[in-house]
A and B are shown apart, each in its own frame.
Chain A
């Protein structure tokens, strides 16, 4: 009887669900642009400049600049535009234009593909005009519809008419309606930033580990600040942008923010994207002891227990040396693991991926020294560091930071002893991703980089460190004490500090237990003797 009732109730519930869910599901099948949040005083649909058909990105930009006259000039000064950054401390010229990494390696000779993520239009080769105002892409950051797309291969241009790409492939890229998109512009969002930053390294979550599409609408568990049903921060809430220059840097990160919470107008306010910029330097109200911990340990170390927490795996290793294999018919191979994740591609080699990854930890003072194309490297047991993270327990500037350390094997020139920038992307005969021929791909890439190539290549093991700072967990999910205060400490490799339990003195323990044991022995011996002699009397 009771069962019958339960079943009936269940049936009623599911029927009700079907009825109510039906129309909702039907609506979801038609992509409607999201409603514009009322965070602006301008309704762009009302602007005459935007009430026309646009056939290209630059046409839209020209319309934008009619009112926002200085916007392009502001963009021109930023890393997002220049892809170039002079590190004032190391004097190294960095930026995507210059550096070599151990993911897709380098943008040289691969512009048309890589610059899909440039805030500009038309950067297809080394001759791009960085002074052009109309080539600034406003929509990449200000689209609110989610429909604006810049496919790789078009040098940062959106596709406005349905286009077969690559030509002859039969794959059609649908054109986007720039007028609709332009009329709905608004503030940047997790989606606009994420379009590129979630997909660094060539796919969702690949590069960073602490940034992937799960942050587009995250739960509180994934990120306590961006929690879509809670605080709902956008990227720009922390990366507070001024004159189009987005705060925060991976080239000169703020490893230790001793200045405390930011007060508006204070002249020495530093990087607004640090935890301290809002929380100050004594945020633990109940446990003052934790504030002491925070003088040596970056907030991120305890508050980001693992990265890649949103269900999207991040790449942990990439071995380029195995790239180039073909199947019996001479075709490219793709291998997947049990979870359906790609672990081998002929174009790229072997990967390993992981979710919920415990970071590695290191002293870090914010100084980052890159291994650039001109730097000499030696093949040895030790991995070549793509970016050497400065830091020590004693320099007074370092904190213990969580890192994603990305390890790989990539081509290098054993004669000139330099890294190599191969030509990978591109629908041409020399692109490695098409023809799998290093001997063709490397000279083209090195020539574009303006670097000498001996004609010989080998593979060298490299590693690259990525300080982990996103995916901040709710406070009850922060690391417990025993994660570090144990013999299997997360900070096992951290030198220069005494960590109770991890650093228990073995000699002291041995002597201590020996004294305790001898006392016990004496006591039992004495007691036994007393019992024996008592019987005799």
Chain B
């Protein structure tokens, strides 16, 4: 028997998909700027990347407000409970058709590994990208901000390192969406809000 749980509210789904779109567009323009390929060319790619970055910052302002007013921020508190079980599941259980060790509820919609991964993104990769990105944008203000001794090279390389980490996360994240109850279960849930659970 399976039952349906409403896990992703309307704003959350809007946030997720617009963020997904923006991040993928940021990725696309990022490696255009980086010289990996040429789609828009450096000049336009920088302009688009900047617009997308500001849009994402705007989106985040709303998302942060939403998380705190709804208390949803608690979903990101890390837990050690069942982490090993989750790892075991992804490494072995999933191939033996073993039952999923985590049963999600509205109050715990991320499995323990997800919590850890998102938290790592939130406190490591995110700040790295945002701090270096904003510094990059305001390069001409460094002296006025008292950051005259900052090295552009380090800021740039930090931003690029963040981009690679984000790309790796994106790949893993997209793949793991297929690791639900059925391959499309998680994706459907993120579209409709309803997740089917055993």
Where the two chains meet, the residues of A that have a C-beta atom closer than 8 Å to any C-beta of B are: 288-289, 291-292, 480-482, 485-487, 498, 500-501, 503-505, 508-509, 511-513, 515-516, 519-520, 522-523, 526-527, 529-530, 533-534, 537
Across the interface, which residues of B come within 8 angstroms of A500, CB to CB? 33, 152, 156
A530 touches B164 (CB 8 A): no
- Given A292-B139, A505-B160, A533-B96, are A516 and B42 neighbors across the interface (CB < 8 Å)? no
A486 touches B153 (CB 8 A): no
- Given A505-B160, A512-B161, A523-B175, are A485 and B168 neighbors across the interface (CB < 8 Å)? no
A485 touches B139 (CB 8 A): no
Across the interface, which residues of B come within 8 angstroms of A527, CB to CB? 175, 178
Complex partner residue of A498 from B33, B95, B152, B171, CB under 8 angstroms? B152
Across the interface, which residues of A come within 8 angstroms of B35, CB to CB? 486-487, 501, 504
Interface of A is mostly: helix
Across the interface, which residues of A come within 8 angstroms of B42, CB to CB? 480-482, 485-486, 501
B164 touches A529 (CB 8 A): no
Please classify how large the interface on chain B is, using the bins under 10, 10 to 19, 20 to 34, 35 or more.
Answer: 20 to 34
B34 on interface, CB distance cutoff 8 Å: yes
Q: In chain B, residues 126-162, which have Cβ atoms closer than 8 Å to a Cβ of chain A?
A: 139-140, 151-153, 156-157, 160-161
- Given A481-B42, A529-B95, are A498 and B156 neighbors across the interface (CB < 8 Å)? yes
What are 9 A-B contacts with C-beta separation under 8 Å?
A: A482-B42, A498-B152, A501-B35, A501-B42, A515-B164, A515-B168, A527-B178, A529-B95, A534-B97
Q: In the complex, what residue of chain B is closest to A485 when comparing beta carbons?
A: B42
B122 on interface, CB distance cutoff 8 Å: no
- Given A482-B41, A530-B94, are A519 and B172 neighbors across the interface (CB < 8 Å)? yes
Complex partner residue of B95 from A291, A508, A511, A530, CB under 8 angstroms? A530
Cα A291 to Cα B141 in complex, Å, equals: 11
B41 touches A505 (CB 8 A): no
Where the two chains meet, the residues of B that have a C-beta atom closer than 8 Å to any C-beta of A are: 33-35, 41-43, 46, 90, 94-97, 139-140, 151-153, 156-157, 160-161, 163-165, 167-168, 171-172, 175, 178-179
Across the interface, which residues of B come within 8 angstroms of A486, CB to CB? 35, 42
A-B CB contacts (within 8 Å), total count: 77
Considering the complex of A and B, which 10 residue pairs feature the smallest CB-CB distances, nearest first? A512-B164, A292-B140, A533-B95, A498-B153, A523-B175, A482-B42, A519-B168, A481-B43, A501-B35, A498-B152
Cα A481 to Cα B47 in complex, Å, equals: 11
Contacts A500-B33, A530-B95 supplied; 15 other A-B pairs, CB < 8 Å: A291-B140, A481-B46, A485-B42, A486-B35, A498-B153, A501-B42, A504-B34, A504-B35, A508-B157, A508-B164, A512-B163, A516-B171, A533-B96, A537-B96, A537-B97
Shortest beta-carbon distance from A9 to chain B in Å: 43
Complex partner residue of B175 from A501, A503, A526, A537, CB under 8 angstroms? A526
Cα A534 to Cα B178 in complex, Å, equals: 14
Across the interface, which residues of A come within 8 angstroms of B95, CB to CB? 529-530, 533
Across the interface, which residues of B come within 8 angstroms of A505, CB to CB? 153, 157, 160
Across the interface, which residues of A come within 8 angstroms of B41, CB to CB? 480, 482
A516 touches B167 (CB 8 A): yes
- Given A508-B157, A527-B175, A537-B97, are A516 and B43 neighbors across the interface (CB < 8 Å)? no
A519 touches B171 (CB 8 A): yes
Q: In the complex, what residue of chain A is closest to B41 when comparing beta carbons?
A: A482
Shortest beta-carbon distance from A489 to chain B in Å: 10
Cα A529 to Cα B178 in complex, Å, equals: 13
B178 touches A515 (CB 8 A): no
Q: In the complex, what residue of chain B is closest to A529 when comparing beta carbons?
A: B95
Shortest beta-carbon distance from B173 to chain A in Å: 10
Cα A537 to Cα B98 in complex, Å, equals: 11
B160 touches A501 (CB 8 A): no
Q: In the complex, what residue of chain B is closest to A522 when comparing beta carbons?
A: B172
Q: In the complex, what residue of chain B is closest to A500 when comparing beta carbons?
A: B156
Cα A144 to Cα B119 in complex, Å, equals: 78
Shortest beta-carbon distance from B172 to chain A in Å: 6
Shortest beta-carbon distance from B171 to chain A in Å: 5
Q: In the complex, what residue of chain B is closest to A282 when comparing beta carbons?
A: B140
- Given A482-B42, A515-B164, A516-B164, are A288 and B140 neighbors across the interface (CB < 8 Å)? yes
Shortest beta-carbon distance from B47 to chain A in Å: 10
Across the interface, which residues of B come within 8 angstroms of A504, CB to CB? 34-35, 160
Across the interface, which residues of B come within 8 angstroms of A530, CB to CB? 94-95, 179
Across the interface, which residues of B come within 8 angstroms of A512, CB to CB? 160-161, 163-164
Q: In the complex, what residue of chain B is closest to A295 when comparing beta carbons?
A: B140
Q: In the complex, what residue of chain B is closest to A487 when comparing beta carbons?
A: B35
- Given A485-B42, A487-B35, are A503 and B167 neighbors across the interface (CB < 8 Å)? no
Cα A527 to Cα B172 in complex, Å, equals: 11
B34 touches A508 (CB 8 A): no
Q: In the complex, what residue of chain B is closest to A505 when comparing beta carbons?
A: B157
Complex partner residue of B165 from A480, A501, A515, A537, CB under 8 angstroms? A515
A508 touches B96 (CB 8 A): no
Across the interface, which residues of B come within 8 angstroms of A519, CB to CB? 168, 171-172
Cα A485 to Cα B41 in complex, Å, equals: 10
Across the interface, which residues of A come within 8 angstroms of B168, CB to CB? 515-516, 519
Across the interface, which residues of B come within 8 angstroms of A526, CB to CB? 90, 175
Across the interface, which residues of A come within 8 angstroms of B153, CB to CB? 498, 503, 505
Most chain B CB neighbours (cut-off 10 Å) among A501, A515, A519: A519
Most chain B CB neighbours (cut-off 10 Å) among A500, A503, A505: A500
Cα A88 to Cα B76 in complex, Å, equals: 69
B171 touches A289 (CB 8 A): no
Cα A526 to Cα B156 in complex, Å, equals: 34
Across the interface, which residues of A come within 8 angstroms of B172, CB to CB? 519, 522-523
Q: In the complex, what residue of chain B is closest to A512 when comparing beta carbons?
A: B164
Q: In the complex, what residue of chain A is closest to B136 when comparing beta carbons?
A: A500
A482 touches B43 (CB 8 A): yes
Across the interface, which residues of A come within 8 angstroms of B43, CB to CB? 480-482
Across the interface, which residues of A come within 8 angstroms of B178, CB to CB? 527
- Given A288-B140, A482-B43, A537-B97, are A520 and B171 neighbors across the interface (CB < 8 Å)? yes
Shortest beta-carbon distance from A304 to chain B in Å: 19
A523 touches B171 (CB 8 A): yes
Cα A511 to Cα B163 in complex, Å, equals: 12
Cα A522 to Cα B43 in complex, Å, equals: 35
A508 touches B160 (CB 8 A): yes
Across the interface, which residues of A come within 8 angstroms of B171, CB to CB? 516, 519-520, 523
Across the interface, which residues of B come within 8 angstroms of A501, CB to CB? 33-35, 42
